[in-house]
Structure 1
Amino acid sequence: MSTNPNPYETERLLGEYLLFHYGSAEDILPASAPDGMREALDFAVRTTRHFSPGSVESTLDLGCAVGRSTYELSRSSALTVGIDFSQNFIRAAAAMIDAPLSYQRLDEGHQRTQLIAKLPDGLPANEVSFETGDAMDLRADLGSFDRVHAANLLCRLTEPDRLLERLPALVRPGGELVIATPCTWLGEYTPPENWPQGSTLDWLRERLGGAFELISVADEPFLIRETARKFQWTASMVTAWKRLSA
């Protein structure tokens, strides 16, 4: 288990991520928002659409945060497991199965607005479960899955190679892997010696190429609202892979 403190346990970040995953356009955007901001909404939904059409038996959502992508993946998976390192995020994700969740949106200074996060109608579509876990040190008996989804996780790990080494065992032969990463390598999360030496895409090809075939590469923008006047707009690189036969 990583010994680094988890920065994702504050109530402020919980509110930001509940808004990011479940907030409506009206909850998130100012009236003056340009079209590019609107197109960056629903990131946790859009990344799940990079899998092939059709249904599967099981899906793993790594770095699931507050769970919207996990619930979306349940539309086409009989069993979906969401794992995140943040206990606060996992508690919130699991609680939403039973009832909507009240949270606060920071507007500015001491000003906050009370909002409600709730699942879209019909979700979860099939069985969903959540657990805390370290993506670099997943439990040995986790098993393998038809699909593995990991969005905006890789460049927040201290040793991302440890996850990449585990992925062939997590994805069944013929199964699919979707990795989304903004490639924002920062020393506060990942020591520079553990960053890719070249591009992140070339590094993924090198590390995964022996066990996976790269199917597609695309960009998906996302938007995180910090305050009424401050937003993070970022483009995440989404790669889709197919597990080769053992």
Structure 2
Amino acid sequence: MRLSHFERLRPVCPRCLATRGVAVPLALGIVEAADADSVHWGTLVCGDQTCAMEYPIVDGAPILVPDLRGWMAANGHLLITRADIPAAMEGVLGDGFGPDSAFNATRQHLSSYGWDHYGDLDPATPDGQAGSVVRCLAAGLDRLGPLPAGPALDLGCGAGRTSFELAARGEDLVLGLDLHWPLLMLARRVMERGEAVFPLRRSGIAYDRQRIEARFAGAERVDFWIGDALFPPFAPRGFALVAAMNVLDCVASPPTLLRAIDGMVAEGGGAVLATPFDWSTQATPVEAWLGGHSQRGDDAGRCEAVLARLLTPGAHPQSVERLQLLGEPVDIPWTVRMHDRAIMQYKTHLMMLRA
């Protein structure tokens, strides 16, 4: 955890924020390993004595989620995953675990996200294949126009490329927030070492270890924390820019995400939001799919119409309060690589908003 980000962004207790709607500042607790600029191992502690929740800092990443024990129970095994397994032995272990194991599901995630976020930096990758997330973000920022000075928040940052792009285009701090530990560790390795290392799937459970040099201007102004996009652990209106690229269909409550973005953007600031409306019950209950669960409703199953009302103050009971759509949304091609012979092609719905 970079001290510059902690001191400037002043995170608050996510538990108090989610359960009581109160922004209680966090303080440094124990510090087990640190240098002049960062805390690598330690805790952050809620300043309300009736809560006093301790949030661990693990390998430099504070874990700031409302249900800390729930997240730890689901992800604790990932926190102690070894990073020093030789590539050949990783393949042997993957074969032993089998294709339906959590181990190989994680490798598939790292393969798809790692390739899209950093594959365009590999000279062996044909032009225009990897890097959909970069092109989509750039299209949104170009349309959004100039913004006031201030930090940027990258909700659902995944493997981190969008956070680095935001830093390269600006002059202030950037914070990437995500719930996925392996992807966040990939992002932090790029931040700390300037290289992206991830398994690239060839087919089946055959993977090659990919190592790509990835150095970005402004990387020293980027940090990555574990956090819930529905409850960003900050007081309101602290960010000049909020990005949420392909996150809306990956959360339990899309309206809650929109209101969280609305609350984080400073006056005069902006937001870039993209989604392919690729709903899944693993992330979002069917009843929360924006227009995508019944073609017999007023919107005939059109997700875009429901989202437009949610982003128009007063147009829907769950509408945002401040953000206004800037111009017309656009559809941007987005490619997800599954393996050597399979890709998924999305049309992601890109929106620009101003406060």
Superposed pair shares fold, TM > 0.5: yes
Cross-structure match for 1:236: 348
1:126-181 per-residue CA deviation (whole Å, 9 max, x = no partner) reads: 61111011112222447521111000100011111211122221111211111100
For the residue of structure 1 that corresponds to 2:191, the secondary structure is coil
- C-alpha separation in 1, matches of 2:307 and 2:245: 14
Alignment of 1:86-165 (within 5 A): 86-99=180-193, 100-124=195-219, 127-141=221-235, 144-165=238-259
User: Which of these residues, 178, 184, 203, is aligned with residue 306 of structure 2?
Assistant: 203
Root mean square deviation, CA, Å: 2.6
Does the CA-based 8 Å contact 2:236-2:263 persist in structure 1? no
Does the CA-based 8 Å contact 2:163-2:176 persist in structure 1? yes
TM-score, scaled to structure 2: 0.60
For the residue of structure 1 that corresponds to 2:230, the secondary structure is coil
Identity of aligned residues (%): 24
- C-alpha separation in 1, matches of 2:205 and 2:308: 46
Cross-structure match for 1:45: 134
Cross-structure match for 2:111: 15
Does the CA-based 8 Å contact 1:40-1:233 persist in structure 2? no
Cross-structure match for 1:32: none
1:180-239 per-residue CA deviation (whole Å, 9 max, x = no partner) reads: 000112223211111123333222222221222211311111111111111111110000
For the residue of structure 1 that corresponds to 2:334, the secondary structure is strand
| Number of positions where the alignment pairs a residue of Structure 1 with one of Structure 2 | 234
- C-alpha separation in 2, matches of 1:19 and 1:205: 31
- C-alpha separation in 1, matches of 2:333 and 2:248: 17
For the residue of structure 1 that corresponds to 2:151, the secondary structure is strand
Relative contact order (C-alpha < 8 Å, sep 6+): which is higher? 1
Cross-structure match for 1:212: 323
- C-alpha separation in 1, matches of 2:227 and 2:212: 24
Greater Rg over alpha carbons, structure: 2
- C-alpha separation in 2, matches of 1:225 and 1:196: 26
Following TM superposition, by how much is the alpha carbon of 1:16 offset from its aligned partner in structure 2, in angstroms?
Answer: 2.0
For the residue of structure 2 that corresponds to 1:89, the secondary structure is helix
Residues 241 and 218 of structure 1, relative CA distance in 2, 3 Å threshold: same
User: Which of these residues, 64, 67, 71, is aligned with residue 157 of structure 2?
Assistant: 64
For the residue of structure 2 that corresponds to 1:138, the secondary structure is coil
- C-alpha separation in 2, matches of 1:142 and 1:28: 41
Residues 109 and 63 of structure 1, relative CA distance in 2, 3 Å threshold: same
**Worse-superposed segment, 167-176 or 39-48:** 39-48
Following TM superposition, by how much is the alpha carbon of 1:44 offset from its aligned partner in structure 2, in angstroms?
Answer: 1.9
Read off the aligned partner of 1:205 and give its amino acid letter: A
Q: Which has the higher helix share?
A: 2
Q: Which runs of 5+ in 2 are unaligned?
A: 1-65, 76-101, 292-298, 314-321
**Worse-superposed segment, 97-106 or 78-87:** 97-106
- C-alpha separation in 2, matches of 1:148 and 1:121: 20
User: Which of these residues, 138, 142, 166, is aligned with residue 73 of structure 1?
Assistant: 166
Does the CA-based 8 Å contact 2:190-2:215 persist in structure 1? no
- C-alpha separation in 1, matches of 2:236 and 2:112: 29
1:27-67 per-residue CA deviation (whole Å, 9 max, x = no partner) reads: 556xxxxxxxx645322212322123446321111111000
Cross-structure match for 1:226: 338
Does the CA-based 8 Å contact 2:159-2:187 persist in structure 1? yes
Following TM superposition, by how much is the alpha carbon of 1:79 offset from its aligned partner in structure 2, in angstroms?
Answer: 0.9
Q: Which runs of 5+ in 1 are unaligned?
A: 30-37
